[in-house]
């Protein structure tokens, strides 16, 4: 039973590899902006990240079923709930700077939606979804530190304009909840979802120990 990661995130891939699992990687290319527009501004943080994760997992499951007839696809999406607003990747230094003006010295909540689709007999089947929430408390970087962090490019393409496992970790005072969720994939939640479809972590370890297969995407 192979695990397929429906994400281009290096951090999510690193989490799984560090936990003993070598997944196949297939990027979903879901139109996130279109899905967010469809959900509307009234959608809750939980509904938003879960819907995005499920869309990614479903898209990839349909694509890989023919070449990986027995696998589990995992999709995930993270967003930061900050001052009553759900924010994702800033995309530019100006937006990231504004986020840090809000975050510095405060606490925000990082939500990650998780979705699994089990592929069996060459067809997508059972689906499960859940979410994890972790409170993150930020310190106050100096102006020089923040500008150097923005110039590194790291915060521009990550949810909430920060990382825990990279340069942004210097500015995280503490967390309440699962640290792997902040990095991008909650291992405890993923394990619980896998158990519900009858897949143990030991099975993923065994599959990862076998011959390597090139990514399908």
| 161 vs 150: CA distance, rounded Å | 9
Confidence label for 90 from pLDDT (cuts 50, 70 and 90): very high
**92-126 burial code (b ≥16 CB/10 A, e <16):** ebeebbebbebbeeeebbbbbbbbbbbbeeeebee
Which among 77, 83, 94, 202 is annotated as catalytic? 77
The per-residue pLDDT of the chain, averaged, comes to: 94
What does the pLDDT look like over 144-190, one tens digit per residue?
999 999 999 999 999 999 999 999 999 999 999 999 999 999 999 99
Percentage of the chain modeled with pLDDT above 70:
96
Amino acid 29: pLDDT: 87
Asked if 101 is an active-site residue, the reply is no
Confidence label for 210 from pLDDT (cuts 50, 70 and 90): low
Amino acid 42: pLDDT: 86
Architecture of domain 2-208: Alpha-Beta Complex (3.90)
- The answer on pLDDT for 213 being more than 50 is no
Higher pLDDT, 42 or 81: 81
What does the pLDDT look like over 22-48, one tens digit per residue?
999 999 989 988 998 999 888 999 999
Tokens for 157, please give them.
Answer: 């393409």
Q: What is the pTM of this model?
A: 0.91
């Amino acid at each position: 039973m192979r695990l397929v990661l429906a994400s281009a995130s290096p951090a999510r891939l690193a989490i799984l590899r560090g936990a003993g699992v070598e997944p196949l990687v297939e990027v979903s290319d879901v139109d996130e902006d279109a899905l967010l527009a469809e959900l509307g501004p009234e959608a809750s943080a939980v509904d938003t990240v879960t819907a995005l994760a499920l869309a990614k997992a479903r898209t990839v499951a349909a694509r890989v079923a023919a070449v990986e007839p027995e696998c589990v696809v995992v999709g995930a999406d993270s967003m930061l709930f900050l001052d009553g607003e759900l924010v994702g990747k800033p995309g530019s230094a100006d937006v990231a700077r504004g986020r840090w003006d809000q975050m510095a010295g405060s606490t925000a909540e990082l939500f990650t939606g998780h979705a699994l689709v089990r592929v069996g007999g060459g067809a997508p089947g059972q689906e499960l979804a859940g979410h994890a929430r972790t409170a993150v408390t930020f310190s106050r970087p100096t102006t020089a530190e923040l500008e150097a962090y923005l110039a590194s490019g790291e915060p521009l393409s990550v949810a909430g304009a920060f990382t825990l496992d990279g340069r942004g970790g210097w500015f995280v005072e503490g967390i309440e909840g699962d640290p792997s969720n902040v990095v991008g994939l909650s291992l405890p939640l993923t394990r619980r979802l896998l158990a519900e479809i009858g897949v143990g972590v030991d099975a993923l370890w065994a599959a990862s120990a076998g011959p390597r297969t090139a990514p399908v995407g």
